[in-house]
Structure 1
């Protein structure tokens, strides 16, 4: 096991009716900016629950944070927060709203440079952030219990990640009942997103980390079991609870302690979203199967472990077990309603060179746990994904 430093200060408040507990965790005299997306929270009752719990606090609303939140929109929220002398931020929504709120929290107090520098330097230049919490309505990204986020700048078609210890939510409320009315597409995307988050931390090479491996395999197995149930029975509370906690545990730092991490699938996926507007989880479903096939040799030991422990594949040659495990992974994504080929999104070989150019522009030229995913490897992955 590698050396590690684990830190996660986020308080999780999980279960039915927990939105009412907002009153206990936000200062009574705080000026609160409530941030959300397209307004679905006003249709499913979540907004009313939040407002009721906030009571007599001074509240300003900011809506319209997009899936893959844009820098342009988030800077409008920064301006609103400064103008209204906001003291606390509350994100109500999925990972995009929470990611955006993390950036806003840092940008409000960011002095000197253009706040875009936060993204350019990956958050390493963040020294403080306004306190914030979240009410999760879409389990997928794990943003409710980590310190990272991803922001898109539409004007230059760049999607950049950042992370800072100052950007952990103070608390996150997870009520599975808030997910009952999610569109099927978002349910499928959420399960795939969580699955690939686990794979980026697990599917590398062995470092004698059985605790982390077993945690990761348990999450993967649970997603495989519970994901289809969520599509079939949208209002099954227990199923939704399991999916929600899986997505949170997939990226809260527990399974990444002491192990190498990959993230090459995400970096290529970010360019697909920035250039073509493809949903984040859809890009992951496109890239991961081909990434595993192209890098089969460097990941052989963990692929064999994955094939046996997650998919129960013990018979046949090593290559046949690995190939079957990758195919079963791809089939699971398809079962969740997430297509896995570039052609499914009307992209072809002609779209590959601009993606590679974007990777080069953003210095994504040596990715992966061994830094051996060159532009040529990325090209092979994309070509195999056609």
Structure 2
């Protein structure tokens, strides 16, 4: 394995009833005024909002609400949240939702105490956060991004049409409350697209050097098998607690940095989807589902040290009578079949992309990463987009 340093500052409270049991005492440690952040209001319909606010009031805290955080959170929304936090002298931020809410709140926690332009200084390029952002706690209501246990935040600058993620350890939440019963009311499509995002995170870590046997890959293979199993079970029964709690922890394990230890990582497909989302605002997990099989058809011959293992150890394909190249290709097609099985889109047209969409402009805007088995060019990315259309 390659050299690494590991630390994770987020303390997780996992299981049924954890919000009622722990939130009041946890939030009370950080001050009087809490900024309660959430998305479009589903938390008010499913009872989560009432449960959370009751806990905060029990702790004697004042609540400032910041709502309307949408998918693909924007820099404008981050600045709105920062202004609200400053005006109300907020002591801590509490993010209640999925990845978009958590990511937005991480950026708000920085912007609320920083005098400069956080996009220019921390998102347009990597920066150094040598100050303390506002304390952040999270309550997870959607399994997918794994944002609850890292410092990563993906933000879209609508004016520039750039969607960028950065991971700053200073942005890690102080605590994460994870009750998978909170995910039961998530619509099927959102649950499935979030589930595929989990699988994508693991695959993009797995399909990279080193190619020798290593602990990170062993864990990744087990996690991928689990996601496939648990997504199938959750589709059959959305209130299967075992499946939903497994998916929630698989999401966290995919992005709490553990499986990334000693790995180069290939997040080229994520970079491609980010820019697709910046231009079209498509669903993130669905966009990844469209792109991944086509991207892997382009690179699997360059990764014959890993793709055959994916076929055998994740999909259970027998290697008997198959060359390494045939085995690798079969694993990619099993992935494509699984995407169809769980009902995710397989073409850009299904995502709402039309003939008028400038795929070349999107391809040219994509960052090129260095961890993949074959480095992409903007021309090949355009070809992938065209094949996906």
Q: Bin the TM-score by the shorter chain.
A: over 0.9
Distance 1:194 1:123 in 2: 27
What's 2:382 paired with? Answer: 379
Q: What's the secondary structure of 1:298's corresponding residue?
A: helix
Distance 1:292 1:370 in 2: 10
Alignment partner of 2:220 out of 200, 209, 216: 216
Are 2:347 and 1:341 equivalent residues in the alignment? Answer: yes
Query: How many residues in Structure 1 have an aligned counterpart in Structure 2?
Result: 382
Point out where structure 1 has 5 or more consecutive residues left out of the alignment: none
What's 2:331 paired with? Answer: 325
Alignment of 1:97-108 (within 5 A): 97-108=101-112
Distance 2:45 2:386 in 1: 42
Distance 1:109 1:142 in 2: 25
Question: Once the 2 structures are TM-superposed, how far is the Cα of residue 282 of structure 1 from its aligned partner?
Answer: 1.3
What's 2:191 paired with? Answer: 187
CA contact 1:193–1:281 (8 Å) conserved in 2: yes
Distance 2:18 2:370 in 1: 40
What's 1:47 paired with? Answer: 49
Specify whether residues 298 and 141 from structure 1 end up closer, same or farther in structure 2 by C-alpha distance, changes over 3 A only: same
Deviation readout 1:59-117 (Å, 9 max, x if unpaired): 11110001111111121111000000001000000000000000000111123345443
Deviation readout 1:290-324 (Å, 9 max, x if unpaired): 11111122211110111110011223222221111
CA contact 1:307–1:322 (8 Å) conserved in 2: yes
What's 2:246 paired with? Answer: 242
What's 1:4 paired with? Answer: 4
Are 2:62 and 1:62 equivalent residues in the alignment? Answer: no
Distance 1:95 1:323 in 2: 32
Question: Once the 2 structures are TM-superposed, how far is the Cα of residue 156 of structure 1 from its aligned partner?
Answer: 2.6
Specify whether residues 365 and 310 from structure 1 end up closer, same or farther in structure 2 by C-alpha distance, changes over 3 A only: closer
Are 2:289 and 1:282 equivalent residues in the alignment? Answer: no
Are 2:97 and 1:93 equivalent residues in the alignment? Answer: yes
Distance 1:154 1:142 in 2: 24
Specify whether residues 340 and 307 from structure 1 end up closer, same or farther in structure 2 by C-alpha distance, changes over 3 A only: same
What's 1:357 paired with? Answer: 364
Deviation readout 1:262-295 (Å, 9 max, x if unpaired): 1000000001111111111111112111111111
CA contact 1:122–1:161 (8 Å) conserved in 2: no
CA contact 2:211–2:305 (8 Å) conserved in 1: no
Are 2:14 and 1:14 equivalent residues in the alignment? Answer: yes
Answer with 118-127 or 42-51: which moved more: 118-127
- TM-score, normalised on structure 2? 0.94
Specify whether residues 198 and 365 from structure 1 end up closer, same or farther in structure 2 by C-alpha distance, changes over 3 A only: closer
Question: Once the 2 structures are TM-superposed, how far is the Cα of residue 367 of structure 1 from its aligned partner?
Answer: 4.5
Distance 1:60 1:348 in 2: 41
Distance 1:234 1:113 in 2: 42
CA contact 2:207–2:372 (8 Å) conserved in 1: no
Q: What's the secondary structure of 1:295's corresponding residue?
A: helix
CA contact 2:33–2:63 (8 Å) conserved in 1: yes
Distance 2:209 2:149 in 1: 26
CA contact 1:294–1:380 (8 Å) conserved in 2: no
Distance 1:112 1:182 in 2: 37
What's 2:165 paired with? Answer: 161
CA contact 2:137–2:175 (8 Å) conserved in 1: yes
Answer with 373-382 or 87-96: which moved more: 373-382
